[in-house]
Chains A and B, each alone.
Chain A
Amino acid sequence: MDQLWIDLAAVLAAASPLVIAAMGETLSERAGVINLSLDGTMLLAAMTGFAVALTTGNLLLGFAAAALVGAAVAAVLGLFSLTLGQSQTAVGFVLALLCTDLSSFLGAPFVRVPGPAVPFTPIPVLADVPVVGTLFFRHDPVIYASFLIIPATAYLLYGTRLGLIVRALGERPAAVYARGVDVTRWRYALLIAGGALVGIAGAAFSLDLKQGWSYRHTFGAGWIVLAIVIFGGWRPWRVALGCYLFAALEIVATRSQSALPNIPTQIVQVAPFVLMIFVLALVNLASSPAAMRRVATLPQIWQRPLLGAINRLRATAPAALGQPFERP
């Protein structure tokens, strides 16, 4: 039984960079901007964070540098898409590839160099509480931060006036403009804040979860996060759940290795992403008009729970996601 809690704690730890990046992406997509550069941004930030922490010997500086890189890439995306009106998808994709290659090029001297890492810091007293202590209080600061950022994002979006503006930016920017808010400036702010979080997530790889730096160090985590944000329906708790499910799947996949020696590791590693897209497709299929019509023909007793479940699972994108805003 104890092993189960330790495994679950490992899942929580393994998901920490995903959670931080996913919250960043949720913020900017809620404000209506898709940051498709995530994968490249995380790599470049991971490399920079590691390099800075290694050369200065200061972990905090490493994280700050990573955040700065993430914010800077987001600002470039903002400049090209929000100000200069280019497609967010195209610019984001090009930035993803460009940053990936930049990280490989600039990071070459740091490949497999041993470097600093965030220290393990169990929280006194709390760490000794059975189960809860194992799950939540025997980690390091980055993982604690990943725990805190979920309720923080949820509170920001659903509990504050600021959150109302953020959500309205993604739903109907014209309405926010009519209320006297500068849509473009606010979208920049959220895009950059989200980018900084993505940068920190990158450093969470290189300074914590997968300490060190190597070529394409994060193994496509950015693309995974983009899919998880859709999977989570742009709602922080669900997005976080998606991250944990993904991490759990990966750990189960690695563990099952010994049970199924015929299947190579690498195949198992691609499974979670494919599974995620598959589930997303199933959910969307279930909530399509055709399926709804089918549900409507079922007996009443079945309809209500079924519709309830579908509505719960259904993920509606912010109405203005990815669309440029023009002053009316």
Chain B
Amino acid sequence: MRTDRLKLAANLTRPLLALVAAFALTTLALLSTGVSPLEAYRLVLFGAFSTPVRLSDMIMLAAPLLLCAVGLSITFAGGLYNLGVEGQMIAGAIAAMVPLRLWPDWPPLLLWLLAGLSGAAGGALWALLIGALRRYANVSEIFAGLGMNFLASGLALYMVLGPWRRQTSASLSGTDLLPRDLWLPTIDRLRLAPAAPVIALLALAIVWWALTKTRWGLEVRAVGLNPAAAGRLGVAAFRRMAETLAACGALAGIAGMLQVVAVHHALIPNISSGIGLLGLLVALLARADPRWLLPIAVAFASFTVGSIQLPLTLGIDSAIAGVLQGALVLFALVARARVR
């Protein structure tokens, strides 16, 4: 009984300590700039909820973030560090642009569907290339992913400045905007396209179900824990690995598609804007447990959106949101360490 209670106490204190440590580090950084930490925290933590516009911005960031994190929780379950998620998002965005530019006169609903499919396919293909590099050329998925990220951003730049450049003159700020009727419909006067969060939540539900209830999910987890033993028990280990990568790439690709049709309404060079890497942090913190993905994705998105006001209001850089997010994940990792 006593040990049980002690264990419970330890289970509660560890995450709490991690939280305190993360905020301590962030506060230290804030203090060094001379602004009031309380004022800064008010903006970072709650700024995203202060006006409907900001709230809608937060949701529009949380949706692709959640999609990436959900995808990454699949690859984590399969034992892979998919650092290539950023590139998969870009590849998805580029692929999604193809039908939109080819047949702009088609009915929007059909085009969105096509763009979604094509974005998913583009992201999945980009991810499968990583799997191929790992399997056939023995390049770790971490570096293969980084390489594919560089390649994707190069490709996006090429498209923006080359074949898809603006009619007036090529510009780094992106392609021409899509025709208005191809923009994903938004709620009046807000930038909130309800379809985006709906798609993300749907993806979360499907992946949660697939990972915990299906035979496929069990096999993926087995491969992630021990590919050799899973193979011995009759699981097609490499196939499952490739499938997790493709699934993650497809979800990241859909996130890229949403960036195009719901946020930027064009292809811009920085279409992924670090959302994929932030998704990695979310997935690491959630420890691939799908139940935690939604709250963490929402919290992280609100930090990022809230911090956008910092330079104007307090004259400090908005990167403090990243500091807080990174510190939370870092100390959470320690909180999980088994004391030996």
Contact = CB atoms under 8 A, between A and B. Distances in A.
Indicate whether A and B are direct neighbours in the complex (CB within 8 Å): yes
Interface of A: 36, 80, 84-86, 89-91, 93-95, 97-98, 100-102, 104-106, 108-109, 220, 223, 226-227, 230, 262-264, 266-267, 270-271, 273-274, 276-278, 280-282, 284-285, 288
B333 A94 contact: yes
A273 B150 contact: yes
Interface in B248-303: 269, 277, 280-281, 284
B29 A89 contact: no
Contacts of A101: 319-323, 325-326
A267 B158 contact: yes
Given A97-B326, A98-B330, A86 B336 contact: yes
B9 interface: no
A55 to B, nearest CB: 13
B45 interface: no
- B interface, how many residues as a size bin? 35 or more
Contacts of A89: 81, 142
Contact of A94 (B154, B162, B284): B284
Contacts of B146: 223, 227, 273, 277
B157 A267 contact: yes
B8 interface: no
B154 A271 contact: yes
Contacts of A36: 142
Contact of A85 (B327, B329, B340): B340
B280 to A, nearest CB: 7
B277 A84 contact: no
B151 A274 contact: yes
A285 B334 contact: no
A95 B340 CA distance: 23
Q: Which 5 pairs across A and B sit closest by C-beta, in order of nearness?
A: A101-B322, A98-B326, A277-B147, A281-B137, A104-B319
B81 A93 contact: yes
Contacts of B269: 266
A258 B136 CA distance: 38
B337 interface: yes
A84 B322 contact: no
A220 B143 CA distance: 13
A65 B338 CA distance: 33
Contacts of B83: 93
B317 interface: yes
B153 interface: yes
B195 interface: no
Most buried by B among A98, A106, A263: A98
A105 B138 contact: no
B70 interface: no
A91 B330 contact: yes
B150 A95 contact: no
Contacts of A220: 150
Given A282-B137, A285-B137, A102 B323 contact: yes
A281 B33 CA distance: 46
B113 interface: no
Given A105-B317, A277-B147, A281-B139, A94 B157 contact: no
A41 to B, nearest CB: 13
Given A93-B81, A281-B139, A98 B334 contact: no
Contacts of B182: none
Nearest to A277: B147
Nearest to B170: A264
Nearest to B330: A94
A284 B333 contact: no
B32 interface: yes
Most buried by A among B142, B327, B336: B142
Most buried by A among B144, B153, B326: B326
Interface string B301-330: 000000000000000110111110111011
A60 to B, nearest CB: 23
B47 to A, nearest CB: 16
B133 interface: yes
B133 A281 contact: yes
A68 B280 CA distance: 28
Contacts of A266: 154, 157, 269
A69 B31 CA distance: 19
B161 interface: yes
A86 B137 contact: no
